[in-house]
Structure 1
């Protein structure tokens, strides 16, 4: 009875999110509360909710201040010199431009937001691609590969969701994936180079519509001189990242202090500081609300025993030994799963069940989370129709979604598989 009720609750959450009849926040709160009431846990619901909220609070705080910190840095032009440098150094070579695009998007994606990455990188480089006659799909794919791999970072949405859903430390979850992340980024650079070489041959066959030198000069005209403040901002970012990964400060504390220092250095005065915070607050608050709602969901599902009952029933259905293979096939299917499930429904609805089933087969829950992060809304998110950022990408690049998916899905799937192989070799999957 409890297993059936738990399954119905999970399916209701998935249906509510996927059908877009209700917001993820409402679905993650309303359906578990109803499920808890039907399970006869009315008196204990308050405790379950409080426990769930306390569990996700550190990650919610980290995400909030990370968005504000990197948003402020983008506002003050931290990434503009990178654009100018890439434009100058590529010298009109399509292969170098494609590699530079991946590098630029990787730097910009430090804020963990796909939308902001697309809004900064694509408009900055689209005129250069057009002036050289380069395929706009290559631009979209290069940005997508960088952003997809970058979504694995500790402050990226999928990693935070996975840590929240499984009650793990986000830093402890990510650190074993650092070599995998580096492998994914290196793969994106190699693929971009190969695609750029192919584009170079295509342009040579048909003739380029504009000279390389003219295009580079045109794009570099807006370059800004590097100031002392720019180097101070770079130092602030490096110190925040160092404090984050070294464990000197908790993640939320690192971004809190970094935001305070960055605000004092770049936007002195109450009025300007308020303007910056209000400009980036909507995106940050929206995600934080979903994280707290996810805490309610996991708190009720775990506290009431519904999640354990569903997992036990699921494990009983699987053939002997099948539970131990869950991470492998989950990693392989992670990109296709991005085309079917949005991040909230997958990480808060499906991942906990898979992790509990796998744990009954002796698999650490961290390995299941690592497997999901090989592609589910990481490498897979820039081509998924389940996320609005994909439509923003194709709109900014002025291409059709179908053309983007045909061009980019094989590339992102290949990166996901390469990262999966690395994860298996390292034993983190």
Structure 2
């Protein structure tokens, strides 16, 4: 009975989220409570919810201060010199323009916000692409593919969800995947290079017109995101050094990542905006995006707390174990990695990481496979997820690029699957996702 109740809860949750009848936040809170009441666990719900929230609190703190930190760095123009450099170096040559667009998207994606990345990159680079006559589908493709890879960072949506769902730390999920992420990034640059060569040959006799930095609206768009247009050189160097130190501590795993971001944000905003009024304005400017993400993570605490507390997790795991042949049990990580691409394309991240991955993790545990292995395997298909019709940022990208969503999906999806293959190869070679 508990197994049927668990499957029914997941089915209702996925249906509610995918059909847009409920937002992920509301579904994560109300649906598990409803099914816990149906199962007769009413008196125990408060305890289960509080336990879930306690386990989720470090992840929520990490996301909150990571969003605030990278938002602050965009405000003070940390990435502006790179944007201008890419535009200045790339103009006039389709190959350099396309590869430069991919590299720019890769760096700007560090803020973990796809919509912001698309706004900055497409607006900065589209005049160059259009003036040279480059295929209009290439710019959104080379923007979204690197973004999908970098979005696997701990402050990005999928990794935050899987960490919340399985109660893991960034050092367990993200750090072992870094070599695979680097390999996938190289793959994204190779794809951009391939596009560039094709367009260079196609346009060789057309005589494309070079476009200068001053002819793009990039500076106006970035100015809208920044509180200060120009910063002193010493302050730019300070921000760069602070971000580099943060990334080093991220990989070294010396301190809890949430604490690292808290300290970095406190130092960064104090040095860049000494006045309390300015600090308040910067925090308020990014409060909306931070709240929307952190609220969903706390909602996940409710969902996983009830799933665990009622015993539904164990019931689901036993049912999955029954369906998987014993001979294939040790290949659950590889199976998870292979199906993560299509699953995250047809399901939302919330439905997959809160509804499917916990079941796979519990099933794998019966074969001695730790949850962090399944977490890493579940992230392999993320390059395909960003092209899902369930991703709101995709429509921001297609609107900015003035292309049809279906056309972009048909054009870029094979290359997204290729990048997922790069991720899988890198994860298998480094042992982050074992073959068996």
Normalization by structure 1: what TM-score? 0.94
- Matched ranges for 1:34-113 at <5 A: 34-113=34-113
Instruction: Establish whether residue 165 from structure 1 lines up as the match of residue 174 from structure 2.
Output: no
Larger deviation, residues 347-356 vs 256-265: 256-265
* Distance in 2, Cα, partners of 1:333 & 1:421: 15
SS of structure 1 residue aligned to 2:154: coil
Report the counterpart of residue 404 of structure 1 in structure 2: 408
Report the counterpart of residue 204 of structure 1 in structure 2: 204
Normalization by structure 2: what TM-score? 0.93
Report the counterpart of residue 235 of structure 1 in structure 2: 241
Instruction: Establish whether residue 247 from structure 1 lines up as the match of residue 253 from structure 2.
Output: yes
Q: 1:218 aligns with which of 198, 215, 218?
A: 215
* Distance in 1, Cα, partners of 2:417 & 2:341: 6
Structure 1 alignment gaps of length 5 or more: none
Give the CA deviation at 1:334.
2.3
Report the counterpart of residue 146 of structure 1 in structure 2: 146
Give the CA deviation at 1:219.
4.5
Larger deviation, residues 31-40 vs 382-391: 31-40
8 Å Cα contact 2:398/2:405 also seen in 1: yes
Report the counterpart of residue 7 of structure 1 in structure 2: 7
8 Å Cα contact 2:118/2:397 also seen in 1: yes
8 Å Cα contact 1:80/1:224 also seen in 2: no
Structure 2 alignment gaps of length 5 or more: 220-228
Instruction: Establish whether residue 274 from structure 1 lines up as the match of residue 271 from structure 2.
Output: no
Report the counterpart of residue 179 of structure 1 in structure 2: 179
Give the CA deviation at 1:358.
2.2
Give the CA deviation at 1:274.
1.6
* Distance in 2, Cα, partners of 1:117 & 1:368: 29
SS of structure 1 residue aligned to 2:29: helix
* Distance in 1, Cα, partners of 2:218 & 2:426: 42
Instruction: Establish whether residue 260 from structure 1 lines up as the match of residue 266 from structure 2.
Output: yes
Q: 1:424 aligns with which of 418, 423, 428?
A: 428
- Matched ranges for 1:20-39 at <5 A: 20-39=20-39
Give CA-to-partner distance per residue, 1:316-336, whole Å, 9 cap, x none.
Answer: 122222333232233223222
Give the CA deviation at 1:129.
1.0
* Distance in 2, Cα, partners of 1:23 & 1:219: 38
Larger deviation, residues 352-361 vs 275-284: 352-361
Report the counterpart of residue 291 of structure 1 in structure 2: 297
* Distance in 1, Cα, partners of 2:231 & 2:133: 29
Give CA-to-partner distance per residue, 1:2-29, whole Å, 9 cap, x none.
Answer: 1111111111111111111111111111
Q: 2:335 aligns with which of 311, 329, 332?
A: 329
Report the counterpart of residue 363 of structure 2 in structure 1: 357
* Distance in 2, Cα, partners of 1:231 & 1:338: 39
Give CA-to-partner distance per residue, 1:205-251, whole Å, 9 cap, x none.
Answer: 4x0442x3x44663499597972221111111112222222223211
* Distance in 1, Cα, partners of 2:275 & 2:190: 45
8 Å Cα contact 1:152/1:158 also seen in 2: yes
Count of paired positions: 424
Report the counterpart of residue 135 of structure 1 in structure 2: 135
Give the CA deviation at 1:82.
0.6
* Distance in 2, Cα, partners of 1:243 & 1:32: 37
Give the CA deviation at 1:260.
1.5
Show structure 1 runs of 4+ deviating over 6 A: 223-226
User: How large is the Cα RMSD of the aligned pairs?
Assistant: 1.9
